[in-house]
Amino acid sequence: MSPDVLKAEAAALAADPRALLAWYVEAGIDVAIGTTAPDRTQAPEPPPLAVVPMSTPDRPAAPARPRPAFQPGPGGPPGGRAVAVPAGQADAAHAAAQATSLEALQKALTSFTGCPLKDTATNTVFADGPVEAPVMVIGEAPGADEDRLGLPFVGASGRLLDRMLASIGLDRRENCYITNILPWRPPGNRKPDTTEVALCVPFIERHIALKDPRLLILVGGLAAQTLFAESAGITRLRGQWRDYATPGLPGPVPALATFHPAYLLRSPEQKRLAWRDLVAVRQKLDSLGLGG
């Protein structure tokens, strides 16, 4: 396509805001994270020069110390290593601890302003399903459909999750309660960084304590890594029963991790392993006297 044709199309779009917005949506641009659009035709500014400390014979330069990485999850990181505490995590922990009911926790999340993800999200996605449900499913983060509707797992992956749960007698309308580690959608469905996860951990831990489920299903690597306090991938973490405990929970709860439905849509060959996990959940429910 010639430059003149491109300029003509650009001018036409600029003259019709609705057409321009439709073009953005078709191109997959559904979140604005800046007030001005960057000019990609300009060369990027060169990065600032690194300042290298000079050493003298009587005072050698001190070696740089690596900054510790945050490891999410209750109980701290494996091995007891020191971690960096993100700014605002104390406020999140205080707000979560003050909630004495799920309704109060939802209000605390809605009013919490310490996580930048909330600035770009449309809705705070809290949970779906009956509060008295014995099973609690915890996913990773809302997607575009979830952010728009304010409910977890309502898009394509949500429909697959519903079918997976139905195969072992679970239903979000009757006996299954669903939420996510993060209540706000990361822009463009990008992977949340460790600081964003850390700010949400106190809320999900309190959410579990107030919900007091009989069994936990952790869906996806982020959910498993966060609540198991592990750095291994979901392929290694799935299919293993663990006892999950957090302050405020009356006692340990059996928890099993499995693949996220979005991953299964991309990698259908892994559904056989997910089915094994679902069978294990059904067997555990039967052993707990939660058949049906």
If you write DSSP's letter for every residue of 20-67 in order, what string do you get? Answer: HHHHHHHTT-----SSS---TTSPPPPPPPP-PPP-BTTBPPPPPPPP
**Residue 230: which domain range?**
86-112+119-287
pLDDT tens figures, 195-239: 999 999 999 999 999 999 999 999 999 999 999 999 999 999 999
Residue 138 lies in a domain: yes
pLDDT for position 3: 55
Residue 40 lies in a domain: no
Residue 33 lies in a domain: no
pLDDT bracket for residue 88 (50, 70, 90)? confident
If you write DSSP's letter for every residue of 94-109 in order, what string do you get? Answer: HHHHH--SHHHHHHHH
Q: How far apart are CA 196 and CA 258, in angstroms?
A: 23
More confident residue, 68 or 136: 136
Residue 61 lies in a domain: no
Amino acid identity of 228? F
Residue 30 lies in a domain: no
pLDDT for position 100: 97
Q: How far apart are CA 199 and CA 261, in angstroms?
A: 25
Q: Are 198 and 89 contacting, i.e. CB atoms less than 8 angstroms apart?
A: yes
List the CATH number of the domain containing 226.
Answer: 3.40.470.10
Residue 101 lies in a domain: yes
Task: Count how many domains the chain has.
Answer: 1
- The residue length of the chain stands at 292
